[in-house]
């Protein structure tokens, strides 16, 4: 097995389950060309037919929830209870765009001196999607539903850790009645992915992944003058003001930070807490974290599983060590799982300051950072002192003041008051700065990969 091949390694044990070689260049080229042919028919299909296909997908997802959830748990370590929820969310996004795509893309007329001035929306062609392992179902369907409902076709390069999930998604599209080569999965290397982006038959690219991957993909797409949508990393600040409900704040922050074993771009990572309530908040947070059960993600009672890969574990260990060497302290650390896999104990650091890895970098795992602030102004300044800008939250019992902070002062693509950040098919989602650009979901999401065409008549 080559290191870069697609491989299933059980992260709870380190056991190699299966290795899958890359597709040949010839097979990938055939898929690209076949998609161009399929697009010529699919883009002329009506919205009702597309909607029927996506509603069928929603039914298939729900009917196969157990199989899908346990495959995800095996491949990347998500607790199976959370994988069930991921399947349900995928069904929701399919039904949402099945119901609303036609109205979102309805043409409209503009009054000018001409007899007709109309704006219409037309699909671009085949879109290439590069998706990560951490939400191996949701990330694909949240991209595919709007892109394909708009009349495009989609080729997926999924993460090398989740090949069974990738193959199963393609099978589901066919089971739902989609024509062949409207959605296809390829097992491609990074070098092959670069060639796919440069193909004249590929009309756009979307990626969810690391900043490093985003820069590489954006550079290749830019050289080939293609639209690209990037959803990258995050180091989301959660501000806890002195009038906040501390139990609520601790509950929401703990859940957000530990969701998906701490491997979520939009999870709470920097907890910016007013000095006057620091002790109370910390006590509430520790009580919440003590309830989490670490173990095999396929066991129903498990709420915290392993990291997805050994290199992710090594990187997280290094980030924590560097932060401790610079003056941070561990205020809480849970027990390590009695398993051989890629487990890191739930940990909370305090005395975290700008310049430390725990402040400046994204910690992708079950580690949170408590940061002290003496005023609201300092809290906002610390929140914005980041290269990222994906999500943020404010906890306060003065809801209107919280909305004002979220709307006007915190730099992020999504800001929430008294809750944790999550994506929703009904709302645009994405980030700024190193967290990427463009928006998925909502009305904006379906309009990203379309030609906004002006049609006029004298």
CA-to-CA dists, residue 103 to 54, 98, 100, 302, 416, angstroms: 16, 10, 5, 42, 28
What tokens does 431 get?
Answer: 């980030």
HSE-up (13 A, CA, CB side) for residue 78: 27
Residues acting as catalytic residues: 231, 265
Q: Where are the beta strands (DSSP E) in 69-217?
A: 108-109, 116-123, 126-130, 153-157, 183-186, 202-208
Please state the length of the chain.
458
Burial of 102 (0-12, 13-18, 19+ CB in 10 A): middle
Say how many C-beta atoms besides its own lie within 10 A of residue 78's C-beta: 31
Residues contacting residue 135 through CB under 8 Å, at least 6 positions apart: 86, 260, 264
What whole-number distance in Å separates Cα of residue 4 and Cα of residue 2? 5
What whole-number distance in Å separates Cα of residue 105 and Cα of residue 449? 12
What whole-number distance in Å separates Cα of residue 274 and Cα of residue 448? 40
What whole-number distance in Å separates Cα of residue 405 and Cα of residue 399? 10
Task: Please check whether residue 313 is in contact with residue 344, taking contact to mean a CB–CB distance below 8 angstroms.
Answer: yes
What whole-number distance in Å separates Cα of residue 417 and Cα of residue 438? 23
Instruction: Check residue 17 and report its DSSP letter.
Output: E
Vertex 92: Cα angle to 391 and 37 (nearest 5):
100
């Amino acid at each position: 097995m080559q290191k870069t091949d697609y491989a299933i390694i059980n992260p709870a044990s380190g056991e190699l389950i299966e290795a899958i070689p890359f597709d040949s260049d010839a097979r990938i080229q055939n898929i690209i060309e076949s998609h161009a042919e399929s697009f010529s028919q699919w883009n002329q299909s009506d919205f009702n037919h597309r909607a029927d296909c996506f509603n069928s997908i929603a039914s298939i997802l729900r009917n196969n929830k157990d199989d899908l959830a346990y495959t995800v748990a095996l491949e990347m370590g998500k607790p199976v209870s959370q994988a069930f929820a991921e399947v349900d969310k995928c069904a929701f996004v399919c039904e949402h765009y099945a119901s609303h795509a036609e109205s979102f893309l309805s043409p409209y007329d503009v009054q000018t001196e001409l007899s007709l001035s109309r704006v219409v929306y037309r699909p671009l062609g085949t879109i290439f999607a590069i998706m990560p392992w951490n939400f191996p179902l949701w990330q694909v369907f949240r991209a595919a539903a709007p892109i394909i409902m708009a009349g495009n076709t989609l080729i997926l390069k999924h993460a090398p850790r989740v090949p069974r999930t990738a193959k199963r998604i393609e099978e589901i599209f066919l089971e739902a009645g989609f024509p062949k080569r409207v959605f296809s999965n390829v097992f491609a290397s990074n070098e092959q992915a670069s060639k796919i982006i440069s193909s004249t038959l590929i009309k756009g690219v979307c990626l969810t992944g690391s900043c490093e991957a985003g820069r590489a993909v954006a550079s290749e797409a830019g050289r080939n003058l293609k639209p690209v949508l990037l959803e990258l990393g995050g180091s989301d600040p959660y501000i806890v003001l002195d009038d906040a409900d501390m139990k609520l704040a601790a509950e929401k922050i703990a859940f957000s930070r530990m969701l998906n074993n701490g491997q979520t771009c939009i999870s709470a990572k920097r907890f910016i807490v007013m000095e006057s309530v620091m002790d109370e908040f910390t006590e509430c947070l520790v009580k919440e974290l003590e309830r989490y059960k670490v173990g095999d993600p396929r066991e129903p009672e498990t709420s915290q599983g392993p990291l997805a890969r050994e290199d992710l574990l090594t990187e997280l260990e290094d980030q924590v060590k560097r932060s401790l060497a610079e003056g941070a302290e561990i205020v809480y650390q849970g027990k390590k799982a009695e398993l051989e896999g890629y487990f890191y104990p739930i940990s909370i650091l305090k005395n975290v300051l700008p310049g430390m890895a725990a402040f400046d970098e994204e910690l992708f795992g079950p580690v949170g950072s408590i940061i002290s602030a003496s005023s609201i102004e300092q809290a906002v300044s610390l929140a914005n002192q980041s290269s990222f800008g994906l999500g943020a939250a404010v906890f306060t019992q003065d809801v209107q003041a919280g909305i004002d902070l979220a709307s006007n002062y915190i730099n992020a693509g999504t800001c929430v008051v008294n809750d944790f950040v999550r994506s929703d098919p009904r709302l645009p989602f994405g980030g700024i700065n190193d967290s990427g650009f463009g928006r998925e979901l909502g009305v904006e999401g379906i309009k990203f990969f379309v030609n906004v065409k002006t049609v006029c008549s004298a």
